[in-house]
Amino acid sequence: MSQPSALSTNGLSRRKFMAGTVSAAAAAPLLASRAEATAPAAAQPKLRQPVITSLRINKQAYELSLDARTSLLDALRDHIGLTGTKKGCDHGQCGACTVLVDGKRVLSCLSFAVMNDGKDVTTIEGLASTDGKLHPMQQAFIDHDAFQCGYCTPGQIMSGIGCVNEGHAESENDIREYMSGNICRCAAYPNIVAAILQARGETKGA
Partner 1 sequence: MRPFVYEQPTDISTAVAIASRFATDDDQPTRANAQFIAGGTNLADYMKLGVAEPNHLLDLNQLKEAALRQIQVTDGGIRFGALVRMGEAADHAEVNRRYPVIADSLRLAASGQIRNMASLAGNVLQRTRCEYFRETSWQCNKRVPGSGCAAMDGFNRQHAVLGVSDACIATYHGDFAQALIALDAVVHAEGGHGARKIPFAKLHRQPRDTPHVETDLAAEEIITAIEVPAIPWARRSLYLKIRDRESYAFALASAAVALDLDGETVREARIALGGVATVPWRAGAAEEALQGKKLDEASAGAAADAAFAGAHPRQHNAFKIELGKRTLVRALLETRDMKV
Ligand X SMILES: Cc1cc2nc3c(=O)[nH]c(=O)nc-3n(C[C@H](O)[C@H](O)[C@H](O)COP(=O)(O)OP(=O)(O)OC[C@H]3O[C@@H](n4cnc5c(N)ncnc54)[C@H](O)[C@@H]3O)c2cc1C
- Minimum CB distance to ligand FES smaller for 21 or for 93: 93
Q: Give the separation between CA 133 and CA 185, rounded to whole angstroms.
A: 28
Among 18, 24, 115, 149, binds ligand FES (CB under 6 A): 149
Shortest reach from residue 30's CB to ligand FES, in Å? 24
Closest to 83 (Cα-Cα) out of 139, 23, 28: 23
- Minimum CB distance to ligand FES smaller for 65 or for 70: 70
- Minimum CB distance to ligand X smaller for 74 or for 126: 74
Straight-line distance from the first to the last Cα atom of the chain, in angstroms, rounded to the nearest whole number: 47
* Binding residues for ligand FES restricted to 89-148, rule: CB under 6 A: 89-90, 92-97, 107, 109, 147-148
Question: Which distant-in-sequence residues (6+ apart) come within 8 Å of 193 by Cβ?
Answer: 172, 175, 176, 179
Shortest reach from residue 37's CB to ligand FES, in Å? 28
Neighbours of 205 (CB within 10 A): 7
Transcribe 21-76 into DSSP letters: HHHHHHTTTB-S-HHHHHHHHHSPP-TT--EEEEEEETTEEEEEEE-TT-BHHHII
* Binding residues for partner 1 restricted to 32-71, rule: CB under 8 A: 45-49, 51, 67-69, 71
* Binding residues for partner 1 restricted to 171-190, rule: CB under 8 A: 176-182
Site of interaction with ligand FES (CB under 6 A): 87-90, 92-97, 107, 109, 147-153, 184-186, 188
